[in-house]
């Protein structure tokens, strides 16, 4: 169904926290200069007779308005969510919006595995003394509680799990909440997925996570679409996108980043982690149809691009089959790492910031592309006016999503 059949939705605020920088300016600057920060991960609970490579947030700045007492009982995922939402809240100017007309969708599930592991280890011999707060904090909805309490959100709030498509799925759910007039503003938050050595080992044994090949050279390990890729490389991150009806934005005098022109969600009917080019292509075509756009209208595709051997090839087959070979392509994960539940939201933020800047970031470590004829942004950033962009996210369990963004004018 074309987007004209529904109320127009726009993005009026964004926030981002990642290992390459916190806040829009630092994040975009690092992206354009391809400044990654991969290394052997150091957080407690991340290693056990292992040396898993990833990118960890070095320092976190909290907004002044956040209650510091609450932070003492907040997990890493909750702290990063509050900091990132604070930036987006201020960016969108939500202070005067009726809190009953603001909603929150948290993208992600099983978000706090490392925190739970550390708690269980600390109380292994004294379970009876376990803090009552654990009875709440092990649930993903605790992030809804932290965020809604600190920012006074009184509209709808829930979590949505779509594996690595969770962040983008949260944005799509936020669009639907605004279009159905449940709220005027809906905040989509791709939450930081805080994993322990258990999850990393499982993902490594699955063949999804690298890197054996670059164990001694972490800066070279994350290389989506390169022939030497050997799996995704984890990266801590969180992205927030403020979705609003165009009518609400106009009433408030908010200046949108872009129009949320169309979206698609398609399932593969497959529990396994192997991707499907048909499912991915179907999501892309649904997004284009809803946006009322043809493939030739797409200037840029922000790929899912994880570095998984089969996943990258499958995604390129879908892109080519949809007639998008002409569009610029890059992979944000090559610099940021794979944020899992957060990835889709972070990549939407990356797309919006690139559109605003008129410049596309490089794809780091793309030395020998598996499809060299495509229109890659490789070693250096490229100046380009982007009117219409697609951003793609896929998740285990056969979940495929696509979102079409159009410049606001």
pLDDT of residue 2: 45
Count CA atoms within 13 Å of residue 60 on its CB side.
Answer: 24
Task: Report the pLDDT value the prediction gives residue 23, as an integer from 0 to 100.
Answer: 98
**Paired tokens of 6:** 């529904």
Distance CA 148, CA 153 (A): 5
Lookup: tokens for 280: 């991915």
Q: What pTM does this model have?
A: 0.97
Structure tokens at 403: 């979102």
Q: How far apart (Å, rounded) are the C-alpha atoms in residues 85 and 145?
A: 13
The tens-digit pLDDT sequence of the chain (409 residues) is 444 567 899 999 999 999 999 999 999 999 999 999 999 999 999 999 999 999 999 999 988 878 787 787 889 999 999 999 999 999 999 999 999 999 999 999 999 999 999 999 999 999 999 988 888 888 999 999 999 999 999 999 999 999 999 999 999 999 999 999 999 999 999 999 999 999 999 999 999 999 999 999 999 999 999 999 999 999 999 999 999 999 999 999 999 999 999 999 999 999 888 899 999 999 999 999 999 999 999 999 999 999 999 999 999 999 999 999 999 999 999 999 999 999 999 999 999 999 999 999 999 999 999 999 999 999 999 999 999 999 999 999 999 999 999 999 7
H-only helix segments in 226-266: 246-252
Please state, in angstroms and rounded to a whole number, the distance separating the CA atoms of residues 61 and 54.
Answer: 21
- Concatenated DSSP letters for 47-113? -SS---EEE-----PPPTTS-HHHHTT--HHHHHHHHHHHHHHHHHTGGGS-GGGEEEEEE-SSTTH
Rounded to whole angstroms, the Cα distance separating 72 from 136 reads 15
Fold equal for 3-252 and 262-407: yes
For the chain, give every domain's residue range. 3-252, 262-407
What pLDDT is attached to residue 191? 98
Beta strand pairing status for 237-245 and 9-18?
antiparallel
The torsion defined by the Cα of 264, 262, 14 and 81, in degrees rounded to 10, comes to -20
CATH of domain 3-252: 3.40.47.10
In 95-195, the DSSP E strands lie at: 102-107, 157-160, 185-190
Rounded CA separation 253/237 (Å): 30
pLDDT computed for residue 350 by the predictor: 98
Architecture of the domain spanning 262-407: 3-Layer(aba) Sandwich (3.40)
- What pLDDT is attached to residue 4? 54
Phi, psi values for residue 295, rounded to 5°: -55, -35
DSSP state at residue 159 = E
Contact 236, 55 (CB under 8 A): yes
């Amino acid at each position: 169904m074309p987007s004209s059949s529904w109320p127009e939705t726009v993005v009026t605020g964004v926030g981002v926290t990642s290992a390459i920088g916190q806040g829009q300016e630092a994040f975009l600057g690092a992206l354009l200069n391809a400044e990654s920060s991969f290394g052997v991960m150091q957080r407690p609970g991340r290693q056990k007779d292992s040396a898993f490579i990833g990118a960890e947030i070095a320092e976190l700045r909290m907004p002044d308005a956040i209650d510091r007492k609450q932070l003492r009982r907040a997990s890493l995922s909750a702290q990063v969510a509050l900091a990132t939402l604070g930036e987006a809240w201020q960016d969108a100017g939500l202070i005067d919006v009726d809190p009953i007309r603001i909603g929150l969708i948290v993208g992600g599930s099983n978000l706090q595995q490392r925190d739970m592991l550390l708690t269980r280890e600390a109380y292994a011999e004294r379970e009876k003394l376990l803090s009552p707060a654990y009875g709440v904090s092990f649930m993903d909805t605790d992030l809804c509680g932290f965020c809604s309490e600190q920012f006074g959100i009184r509209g709808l709030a829930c979590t949505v799990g779509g594996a690595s498509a969770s962040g983008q799925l949260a944005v799509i759910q936020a669009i639907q909440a605004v279009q159905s007039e449940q709220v005027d503003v809906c905040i989509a938050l791709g939450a930081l997925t805080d994993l322990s050595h258990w999850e990393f080992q499982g993902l490594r044994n699955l063949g999804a996570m690298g890197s054996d090949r670059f164990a001694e050279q972490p800066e070279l390990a994350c290389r989506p679409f390169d022939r030497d890729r050997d799996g995704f490389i984890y990266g801590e991150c969180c992205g927030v996108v403020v979705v609003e009806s165009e009518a609400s934005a106009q009433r408030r005098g908010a200046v949108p980043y872009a129009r949320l022109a169309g979206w698609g969600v398609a399932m593969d009917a497959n529990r396994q982690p192997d991707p499907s080019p048909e499912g991915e292509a179907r999501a892309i075509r649904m997004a284009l149809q809803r946006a009322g756009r043809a493939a030739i209208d797409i200037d840029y595709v922000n790929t899912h691009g994880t570095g998984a051997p089969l996943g990258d090839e499958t995604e390129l087959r879908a892109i080519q089959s949809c007639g998008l070979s002409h569009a610029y392509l890059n992979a944000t994960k090559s610099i940021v790492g794979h944020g899992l539940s957060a990835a889709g939201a972070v990549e939407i933020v990356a797309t919006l910031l690139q559109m605003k800047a008129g410049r596309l970031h490089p794809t780091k470590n793309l030395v020998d592309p598996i499809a060299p004829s495509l229109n890659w942004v490789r070693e250096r950033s490229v100046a380009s006016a982007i009117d219409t962009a697609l951003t793609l996210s896929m998740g285990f369990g056969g979940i495929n999503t696509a979102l079409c963004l159009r410049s606001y004018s």
